[in-house]
Amino acid sequence: MEFMQPATWSEALAMKAAHPEATPIAGGTDVMVGLNLDHGRPESIIDLTRIRELGEWGSDDGWLRIGAGVTYTKLIDELGDRLPGLAMASRTVGSPQIRNRGTVGGNLGTASPAGDAHPPLLAADAQVELASATGTRRVPVREFFTGPKQTTMRKDELIAAFLVEPAAGPQQFSKVGTRNAMVIAVCSFALALDPARRRVGTGIGSAGPTPLRATEAERFLEGVLDEQGSWDRRTRVSEAAVTRFGELVASAARPIDDVRGTAAYRRHALSVLARRCFTWAWAAA
Amino acid sequence: MGVGRRLKVDCTVNGSRHVADGVWEGESLLYVLRERFGLYGSKNACEQGECGSCSVYLDGTLVCACLVLGGQANGRSLVTIEGLDGEKVEQAFVEAGAVQCGFCTPGLVVAAHDLLQRVPRPTDAQIREALAGNICRCTGYAKIIAAVHMAAGSA
Ligand SMILES: Cc1cc2nc3c(=O)[nH]c(=O)nc-3n(C[C@H](O)[C@H](O)[C@H](O)COP(=O)(O)OP(=O)(O)OC[C@H]3O[C@@H](n4cnc5c(N)ncnc54)[C@H](O)[C@@H]3O)c2cc1C
Ligand code: FES
Ligand code: FES
């Protein structure tokens, strides 16, 4: 095993180009578990923690561009007001020790269907910035995940950052687990409302081979809110419409039975999470 | 490939320079601390970030040493239970009866110390939240929470 510690981003990209099989390591909260439990040994490791800009964020044409190495703790502290949905999800990740080290870049890199950062990024229509020695491209999060732990990232690429617009309206995140901390989601749901653009965004976690959007549910809710003129006047939304929204979210999931829960339970729980998230978001709108 | 012992880890631990040669590239900081530097205060229980018994400060940030790669600690500054300015917390743990077998105690003391630095007078909920990543198999946590309140009171 080789240990590489690039000091700059261009060095890191050159190393990844020369060693496409190398495993990058950021906070190590996924990589180290694999190493400690000896689930296979990588050919080589590229430590990304020396690259200063990966741990920084800034704005980019009205969007926030957040380095792949920004930890959950930093995100909560510095961006919690601008990205409330992602901050809520970040607060549910592990423990303080995990949030102090773990990064959204690492969450995207692992691409677990249960990754808690994914639903809010989907709901907010975020983009992932991938870089290689030969160039940079931006991929919508909704196209990033291709299967369980699989993404569109090429072997010569690294995740530089993700881009997301500051919240334009209320956002919510909710997660089901056996305890209030240190749990992998049984299922989770994120909602983002954008009243100015009359848009509803959703993200479903841990209930399919990849994180998913509930597109039909989004269009349905947009239709209800448009029809009632609710976006501007915040009128009450009927119980029936909220229930239907929950059903459409549940039907967008593609869950399986596993140790954490059954597919049927996940669908049911998702309909409840979707209703709750909307009710909370609407109350705050 | 095999196990090449090729890495040098050179860092500051509890204020003094520590160097280990021939560290395996996949070795955790926890292993380096315990087996190479002989600092056995940080405990090894799960090696997967679940129990918090290996909690240390890495450049002032509370982390699980088992989830840091040895090489990542190069040039960094660490504080372990051995070098922690943690007497107030330790004393409170003893007085509150928050220590039984003691295996979880070093990690809990470091995590409680970190909380009190950020939040001098934490509520019950804040204590539970801050210690959620530390497992104790003996005490049932009530006395640990009491100990943190006690340490906060004497601050
Ligand atoms: C005790 C514990 C509790 C946890 N709880 C949760 C939880 O509640 N919710 C949750 O979602 N996750 C949880 N996790 C998983 C983990 O903390 C997260 O997935 C975290 O976001 C990983 O970030 P990291 O920086 O530590 O990643 P690392 O472990 O460093 O890397 C993870 C993966 O991403 C790749 N990678 C990292 N950075 C880049 C980059 N810039 N470019 C390309 N690839 C990259 C790595 O090669 C690796 O495949 C938990 C883990 C532990 C140990
Ligand atoms: S040994 Fe590190 S968290 Fe358990
Ligand atoms: S006192 Fe025994 S594990 Fe906590």
B26: distance to nearest CA of chain A, Å?
A: 7
Q: What is the pLDDT of residues B51-110, one digit of tens each?
A: 999 999 999 999 999 999 999 999 999 999 999 999 999 999 999 999 999 999 999 999
Residue pair B99/B105 in contact by the 8 Å Cβ criterion: yes
- Hey, is the C-beta of B69 within 8 angstroms of any chain A C-beta? yes
Q: Give the number of domains in chain B.
A: 2
Residue pair A26/A106 in contact by the 8 Å Cβ criterion: yes
Q: How far apart are CA A222 and CA A282, in angstroms?
A: 13
Q: Is the dihedral of CA A207, A208, A210, A211 positive or negative?
A: negative
B26 pLDDT more than 90: yes
Q: Of the candidates B25, B49, B114, which has its C-beta nearest A3's C-beta?
A: B25
Q: How confident is the model at residue B5 (pLDDT cuts 50, 70, 90)?
A: low
Q: Mutate which of A21, A23, A36 to test chain B, going by most B C-beta atoms within 10 A? A: A36
pTM passes above 0.95: yes
Residue pair A111/A145 in contact by the 8 Å Cβ criterion: yes
Query: Does B111 fall in a domain?
Result: yes
Which domain covers residue B135, as residue numbers? 84-152
- Hey, is the C-beta of B55 within 8 angstroms of any chain A C-beta? yes
Query: Does B106 fall in a domain?
Result: yes
- In our burial notation (b when 16+ CB lie closer than 10 A, e otherwise), range A41-80 reads ebebbbbbbbbeebbebeeeeeebbbbbbbbbbbbbeebe
Q: Per the CB < 8 Å rule, is A27 touching B67?
A: yes
Q: Are residues B96 and B148 in the same domain?
A: yes
B3 pLDDT more than 60: no
Q: Are residues B60 and B89 in the same domain?
A: no
Closest CA to A200 of A122, A117, A118: A122
Question: A219 vs A154, A223, A225, B109, CA distance in Å?
Answer: 33, 6, 10, 51
Query: Does B1 fall in a domain?
Result: no
Query: Does B94 fall in a domain?
Result: yes
Choosing from B26, B60, B81, the residue where a domain stops is: B81
Q: Are residues B69 and B98 in the same domain?
A: no
Ligand nearest to the CA of B28: 2
Judged by average pLDDT, the poorest of A167-181, A183-197, A255-269, B3-17 is B3-17
Q: Are residues B23 and B77 in the same domain?
A: yes
Q: Are residues B15 and B77 in the same domain?
A: yes
Q: How confident is the model at residue B6 (pLDDT cuts 50, 70, 90)?
A: confident
* CATH assignment of the domain containing B17: 3.10.20.30
Give the number of the atom of ligand 1 that is nearest the alpha carbon of residue A118: 11
Q: Are residues B71 and B120 in the same domain?
A: no
Choosing from B64, B81, B98, the residue where a domain stops is: B81
Q: Are residues B10 and B75 in the same domain?
A: yes
Query: Does B143 fall in a domain?
Result: yes
Q: Estimate to the nearest angstrom the gap between the alpha carbon of A18 and the chain centroid.
A: 29
Residue pair A207/A256 in contact by the 8 Å Cβ criterion: no
Domains of chain A from N-terminus onward: 171-284 (3.30.390.50)
Choosing from B81, B116, B143, the residue where a domain stops is: B81
Q: What is the mean pLDDT of chain A?
A: 96
* CATH assignment of the domain containing B93: 1.10.150.120
The pLDDT score that the predictor gives to residue B1 is 37
- Hey, is the C-beta of B60 within 8 angstroms of any chain A C-beta? no
Q: How confident is the model at residue B155 (pLDDT cuts 50, 70, 90)?
A: very low
Write down the ipTM of this complex.
Answer: 0.96
Q: Per the CB < 8 Å rule, is A32 touching B66?
A: yes
Q: What is the mean pLDDT of chain B?
A: 95
Residue nearest atom 18 in ligand 1 by C-alpha distance = A107
Q: How confident is the model at residue A10 (pLDDT cuts 50, 70, 90)?
A: very high
